[in-house]
């Protein structure tokens, strides 16, 4: 192991319905193999035509996960990073749109010498080359998740590509794990295997015989059910793995390990490694199931109808709870309802308030009212990206007496645009080119809350935004009592704001949730949850 030519591949497909948890399964398998001393990486193949998820509505697709190198990716890549130490970047997620764009560009450039360009071999070769490129790094295992479900017309080129790779790489170098649904029918009083049988038949019709079946169900599968599935799907019975509902997603690696999945994968791929050391995962699950305290945190946003819109954020808050052995109850509050009924009614009983990122003017005034509520009542407040910008607007309006303070994003003609595009961005026609994406440095003010939390003077965090705190108003904001405790040393831009007259009030322009793990909670979230616990004890 250790060189690219020895990398092994695990292809994870899904059938019956979407949202079965392929990404979570892939992340859990990766965690098990990593804990056996193997180096893993991941690829997510997305069948949609969009070039990337960056312009997609979070209510349709969930959050956009951002990597250190500035890639806007599918949220499953967040699972990969949270569960393992894999370094995820632009080469770990690609869509049908990117594949076709690359092939058409090559055709226009004459790379195919005037030949007829077809799905096979041109599209499939492009897919295979990108998958194989991930093995160029010094990795032992490449886990490849194919989005969508078997039978979708969009995913056929991806499935054909992995069919070819399974043959070309050979049986000890690549396996397919197929995830299916085994539903329980209450009126019949039993689990039904037919959806799994149909899904596997569909997969076999395109030339892929799964070696392992990951069966999603609301309860464990007994031996009779496994025997039936194995018989009809041509899979060894001990390769039929139950993926039953768990109390916490961080229990999934343990449940798969109990069924020997990592040992069976290692045997199928002819891998020699130590056994998995899962002590840290067992401690995480213990803390989830046996918390010593409990707090309620209000998340004030406009995408609250789909909590996957804030997937990394939700998990980072739970990680902060793990660090404090505290159960964090998340209360999602629609910021537009705050505009309608007031902050008192919507936020009463919350031990802390978080305003996350977002785009567009809808619900912004409700977020500003929530921040005013937190400031005036000394409720712990955490603002992320747009949350920081709203905190600056609230401070400018209600403390600095700039009553018309606003962001250029929401009112281009506002008198006091305390949040604005930087001068070098104002005339850029392609607004996508003005996005600040990926990791950037931030220097912390000595003695500040941020400095105490991080314990070091210089940090790097991931960004995804277009507008910044307007430097022309920095003196006014500081004179009103706002502390600019984090500054980008390369661009001289505000990264973190605080209040000295508040027990815990912090806004950051970056997205710290993208770097939080259950095994290493992000310090900002750990400190925020601790502040919520202190507030709860005083109420």
Q: Which residues are catalytic?
A: 385, 511, 513
**β strands within 336-448, DSSP E:** 352-355, 381-384, 405-407, 416-420, 436-444
Contact 19, 40 (CB under 8 A): no
Handedness of CA 151, 155, 161, 162 (dihedral sign): negative
Q: Count of alpha carbons within 13 Å of 102, Cβ hemisphere only?
A: 16
Q: How far apart are CA 471 and CA 522, in angstroms?
A: 28
Burial 488-526 (b: 16+ CB within 10 A, else e): beeeebbbbbbbeebebbbbbbbbbbbbbbbbebbbbbb
Torsion region of 87: left, alpha or beta (phi above 0 gives left; psi -120 to 50 gives alpha): beta
Q: Name every residue whose Cβ is closer than 8 Å to that of residue 534 and which is 6 or more positions away in sequence.
A: 380, 503
User: Shortest CA distance to 387 belongs to which of 364, 411, 421?
Assistant: 364
Rounded CA gap, 195 and 229, in Å? Answer: 10
Beta bridge mates, 154: none
CA atoms within 13 A on the CB side of 63: 26
- The helix/strand/coil state of 192 is coil
Token pair 């169900």: residue: 217
Q: Is the dihedral of CA 42, 48, 49, 54 positive or negative?
A: negative
**498 and 485 in contact (C-beta within 8 Å)?**
yes
Quickly list DSSP for 369-401: HHHHHHHHHT--EEEETHHHHHHHHHHHHHTS-
**DSSP β-bridge partners for residue 483:** 498
């Amino acid at each position: 192991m250790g060189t690219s030519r020895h990398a092994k591949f695990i292809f994870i497909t899904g059938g019956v319905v979407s949202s079965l948890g392929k990404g979570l399964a892939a992340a859990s398998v990766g965690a098990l193999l990593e804990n056996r001393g193997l180096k893993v990486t991941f690829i997510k193949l997305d069948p949609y035509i969009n070039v990337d998820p960056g312009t997609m509505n979070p209510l349709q697709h969930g959050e956009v996960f951002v990597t250190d190198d500035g890639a806007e990716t599918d949220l499953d890549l967040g699972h990969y990073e949270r569960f393992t130490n894999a370094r995820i970047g632009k080469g770990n997620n690609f869509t049908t749109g990117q594949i076709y764009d690359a092939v058409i560009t090559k055709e226009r450039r004459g790379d195919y010498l005037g030949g007829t360009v077809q799905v096979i071999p041109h599209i499939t070769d492009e897919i295979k080359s990108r998958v194989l490129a991930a093995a160029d790094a010094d990795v032992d295992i490449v886990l490849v998740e194919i989005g969508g479900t078997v039978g979708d017309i969009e995913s056929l080129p991806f499935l054909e590509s992995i069919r070819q790779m399974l043959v070309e790489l050979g049986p000890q170098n690549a396996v397919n794990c197929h995830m299916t649904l085994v539903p329980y029918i209450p009126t019949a009083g039993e689990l039904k295997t037919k959806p799994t049988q149909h899904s596997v038949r569909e997969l076999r019709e395109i030339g892929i015989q799964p070696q392992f079946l990951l069966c999603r169900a609301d309860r464990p599968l007994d031996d009779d059910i496994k025997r039936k599935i194995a018989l009809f799907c041509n899979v060894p019975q001990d390769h039929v793995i139950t993926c039953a509902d768990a109390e916490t997603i961080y229990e999934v690696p343990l449940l798969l390990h109990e069924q020997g999945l990592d040992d069976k994968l290692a045997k199928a791929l002819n891998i020699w490694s130590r056994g998995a050391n899962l002590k840290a995962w067992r401690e995480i699950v213990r803390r989830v199931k046996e918390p010593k305290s409990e707090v309620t945190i209000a998340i004030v946003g406009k995408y609250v109808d789909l909590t996957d819109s804030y997937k990394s954020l939700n998990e980072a808050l739970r990680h902060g709870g793990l660090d404090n052995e505290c159960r964090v109850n998340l209360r999602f509050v629609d910021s537009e309802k705050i505009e309608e009924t007031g902050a008192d009614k919507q936020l009463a009983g919350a031990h802390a308030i978080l305003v996350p990122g977002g785009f567009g003017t809808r619900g912004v005034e409700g977020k500003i009212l929530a921040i005013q509520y937190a400031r005036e009542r000394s409720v712990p407040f955490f603002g992320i990206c747009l949350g920081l910008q709203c905190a600056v607007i609230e401070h400018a309006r209600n403390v600095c007496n700039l009553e018309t303070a606003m962001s250029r994003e929401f009112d281009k003609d506002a008198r006091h645009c305390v949040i604005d595009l930087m001068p070098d961005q104002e005339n850029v026609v392609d607004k996508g080119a003005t996005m600040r994406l990926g990791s950037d440095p931030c220097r912390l003010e000595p003695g500040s809350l941020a400095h105490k939390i991080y314990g070091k003077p210089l940090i790097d965090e991931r960004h995804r935004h277009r507008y910044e705190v307007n430097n022309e108003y920095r003196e006014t904001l500081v004179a009103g009592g706002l502390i600019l405790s984090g500054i980008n040393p390369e661009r001289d831009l505000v990264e973190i704001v605080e209040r000295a007259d508040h027990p815990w009030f912090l806004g950051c322009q970056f997205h710290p949730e993208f770097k939080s793990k259950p095994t290493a909670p992000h310090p900002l979230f750990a400190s925020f949850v601790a502040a919520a616990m202190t507030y709860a004890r005083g109420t």
